[in-house]
């Protein structure tokens, strides 16, 4: 059988997963049960909740007697490790671009990776039914971006289609079609078949899975040769080699894995029973132990410190609370999360290095849902020394805001040492591109939504390392810190709410040193939220104040991380997110400040 191996790449929310769903349905690659619903490929709970793809996934369809292996990749630069692994298995890419938004920061990121891997692109201008769609302009912008990123003449000579992915329609030229037949035919015509060498079996591991029955499962493209169930292969690791017996071999069809007697060169397959295998290892026949080049993954740019929970509420809500349990979970994560680094600073302190706040917060949220309880500190960037100069990571930031709100956005970004590199105006909105230190964006999203009245759109991805810009003030408010343990009363919150934006409801149990709100000024404020109104025996009708509380601010895990100051921690449990001071005792904090 002939094969075509493609990855679908795009900026977040430009329609990758929806288009893959339509391809699976029209190629009749789904069972009746799987064909129901939307975003079929996003099977992970976090993916469904956030509406983003986090994990690269494999699927396959047949069209015209050719098997098309499709890898749906994440659009967020934070999950670049997933993108890089996916691109190592394919021979071409389908680049989706929103017909209104045009190329965005993550479009630039994933496209740069595809161009560096010398992959042939097919461009799909998606969502052309949008009211503000500008497909021809967007096509030109995509061509310009490819040229800027150093695409070869062959890559610049790309075929392009227009599409409405939600309706399962894509077409060549100006005449719309109601299906994806043009897209399938373009893939067969323009994406090259995998290059297959002659020789013994060889496969580079690009992804891992696990089965309680079959053990570790290695996923990758068969570079050459074949292998059967029951045969022994050699795993060529980074540091050592080992033998493993093939427990089962699978190929993909739709969302299913089909067991096969023998794998075929050029196909993307899953091989079970590969204990001890790691991403980047090569599986080979014993008689020809030749390793393929290991996958190169971009270095992490953000770090966060994780420790067991030490608050007065420690152990009340979590199932896994000890440093040993946390360590085992982090070591397990390292097996599949290639962009993550874990450094054991002390037996109780772990430093996590990742590709961005989102990359790390998804891991923390996953651990939380599994029953873990821990504390994390403020995220910080990883500095490098290049040519004797300290350098820090920079982000490429794009903002799209109403014209009337652009002034405050510019002022805020200027204070954060951002440099504008491009600006477009039209239809009452401004779109501007900036280069900005990565740490300047910590806590910026909430502020940005506030100053744009929720109408602004922002997106960013890693740009590169540049000169360290010195001190940055990313938070201009202080914390309101509980000075007494007990239960918060509505009366106390009401008395304080003119000065403090609260994070807690009446009836919330608090401890000394717990952060209960945000002070409107730049200093921290110790407050007592446990005072209730004294009642007397004599009541005059209407004499009591009518207590009206402003609803409290509730944080997501990312928002809570963004809020943290250097002397603060986020307590994460399966049920709660609590902000606290590192030093809980007010007198202890004063002594620490005096030193």
| CB within 8 Å of 289: residues ≥ 6 apart | 234, 236, 241
501: which 2 tokens? 């934006």
Q: Identify whether the C-beta of residue 15 lies closer than 8 Å to the C-beta of residue 166.
A: yes
**SS3 of residue 227 by DSSP:** coil
**SS3 of residue 468 by DSSP:** coil
| Euclidean distance between CA atoms 207 and 225, whole angstroms | 20
* CA 386 to chain CA mean position, Å: 28
| Euclidean distance between CA atoms 413 and 441, whole angstroms | 9
Q: Which of 512, 89, 63, 585 is nearest to 72 (CA)?
A: 89
| Euclidean distance between CA atoms 574 and 589, whole angstroms | 28
153: enclosing H helix or E strand: helix 153-156
Q: Check the annotation: does 128 bind a ligand.
A: yes
* CA 175 to chain CA mean position, Å: 37
The owner of tokens 């292998």 is 227
Q: Which of 302, 298, 311 is nearest to 393 (CA)?
A: 302
Q: Name the DSSP letter for residue 240.
A: -
Give helix 105-116 / helix 135-148 axis angle, nearest 10°.
50
Q: Check the annotation: does 186 bind a ligand.
A: no
| CB within 8 Å of 22: residues ≥ 6 apart | 165, 167, 168, 180
Q: Check the annotation: does 301 bind a ligand.
A: no
| Euclidean distance between CA atoms 180 and 70, whole angstroms | 15
* CA 464 to chain CA mean position, Å: 18
Residue count (the chain): 595
Positive or negative torsion for Cα 15, 21, 22, 27: positive
Q: Check the annotation: does 585 bind a ligand.
A: no
Q: Check the annotation: does 446 bind a ligand.
A: no
Q: Check the annotation: does 15 bind a ligand.
A: yes
Q: Which of 398, 383, 540, 469 is nearest to 102 (CA)?
A: 398
Q: Check the annotation: does 195 bind a ligand.
A: no
10 Å Cβ neighbour count for 152? 11
Give helix 444-451 / helix 406-415 axis angle, nearest 10°.
150
3-state secondary structure 159-222: CEEEEEHHHCEEECCCCCCCCCHHHHHHHHHHCCCCCCECCCCEEECCEEEEECCCEEEEEEEE
Q: Check the annotation: does 544 bind a ligand.
A: no
Question: What long-range pairs does 325-329 form, CB within 8 A, spacing at least 24?
Answer: 325/372, 326/350, 326/372, 326/374, 329/367, 329/370, 329/372
10 Å Cβ neighbour count for 443? 22
Binding-site residues sit at: 13-18, 126-129
Binding-site residues for GTP sit at: 13-18, 126-129
């Amino acid at each position: 059988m002939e094969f075509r191996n493609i990855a679908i790449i795009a900026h977040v929310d430009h329609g990758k997963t929806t288009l893959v769903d339509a391809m699976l349905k029209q190629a009749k690659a789904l069972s009746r049960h799987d064909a129901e619903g939307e975003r079929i490929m996003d099977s992970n709970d976090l993916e469904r909740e956030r509406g983003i793809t986090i994990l690269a996934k494999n699927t396959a369809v047949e069209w015209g007697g050719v098997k098309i292996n499709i890898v749906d990749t994440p659009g967020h630069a934070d999950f670049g490790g997933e993108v890089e692994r996916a691109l190592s298995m394919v021979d071409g890419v389908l680049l989706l671009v929103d017909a209104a938004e045009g190329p965005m920061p993550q479009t630039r990121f994933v496209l740069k990776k595809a161009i560096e891997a010398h992959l042939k692109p097919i461009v799909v201008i998606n969502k052309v039914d949008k009211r503000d769609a500008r497909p021809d302009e967007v096509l030109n912008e995509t061509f310009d971006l490819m040229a800027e990123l150093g695409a070869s003449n062959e890559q610049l000579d790309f075929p392009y289609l227009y599409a409405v992915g939600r309706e399962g329609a894509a077409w060549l030229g100006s005449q719309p079609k109601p299906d994806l037949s043009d897209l399938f035919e373009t893939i067969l015509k323009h994406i090259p078949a995998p290059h297959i060498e002659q020789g013994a079996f060889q496969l580079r591991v690009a992804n891992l899975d696990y089965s309680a029955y079959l053990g570790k499962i290695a996923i990758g493209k068969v570079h050459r040769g074949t292998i059967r169930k029951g045969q022994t292969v050699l795993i060529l690791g980074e540091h050592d080699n080992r033998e493993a017996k093939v427990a089962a071999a699978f190929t993909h069809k739709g969302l299913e894995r089909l067991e096969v007697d023998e794998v075929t060169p050029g196909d993307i397959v899953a091989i079970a029973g590969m204990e001890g295998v790691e991403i980047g290892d090569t599986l080979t026949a014993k008689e020809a132990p030749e390793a393929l080049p290991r996958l190169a993954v971009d270095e992490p740019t953000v770090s966060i410190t994780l420790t067991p929970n030490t608050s007065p509420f420690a152990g009340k809500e979590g199932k896994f609370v000890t440093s040993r349990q946390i360590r085992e979970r982090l070591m397990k994560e390292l097996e599949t999360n290639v962009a993550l680094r874990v450094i054991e600073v002390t037996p109780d302190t772990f430093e996590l290095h990742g590709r961005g706040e989102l990359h790390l917060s998804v891991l923390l949220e996953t651990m939380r849902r599994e029953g873990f309880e821990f504390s994390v500190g403020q995220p910080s960037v990883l500095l490098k020394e290049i040519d004797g100069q300290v350098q820090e990571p920079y982000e490429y930031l794009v903002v799209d805001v109403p014209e009337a709100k652009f002034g405050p956005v510019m002022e805020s970004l200027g204070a954060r040492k951002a440099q504008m590199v491009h600006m477009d105006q039209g239809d009452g909105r401004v779109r501007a591109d900036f280069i900005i230190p990565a740490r300047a964006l910590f806590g910026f999203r909430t502020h940005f939504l506030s100053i744009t009245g929720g109408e602004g759109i922002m997106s960013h991805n890693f740009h590169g390392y540049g000169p360290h810009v010195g001190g940055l003030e990313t938070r201009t408010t202080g914390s309101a810190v509980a000075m007494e343990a007990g239960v918060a009363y509505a009366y106390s919150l009401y008395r304080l709410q003119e000065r403090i934006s609260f994070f807690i409801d009446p009836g919330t149990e608090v401890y000394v040193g717990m952060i209960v709100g945000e002070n409107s000024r730049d200093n921290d404020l110790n407050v007592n939220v446990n005072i209730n109104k004294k009642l007397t025996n004599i009541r005059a009708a209407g004499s009591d104040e009518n207590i009206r509380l402003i609803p409290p601010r509730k944080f997501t895990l990312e928002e809570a991380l963004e809020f943290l100051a250097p002397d603060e921690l986020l307590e994460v449990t399966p049920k709660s997110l609590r902000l606290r001071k590192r030093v809980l005792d007010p007198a202890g904090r004063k002594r620490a400040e005096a030193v």
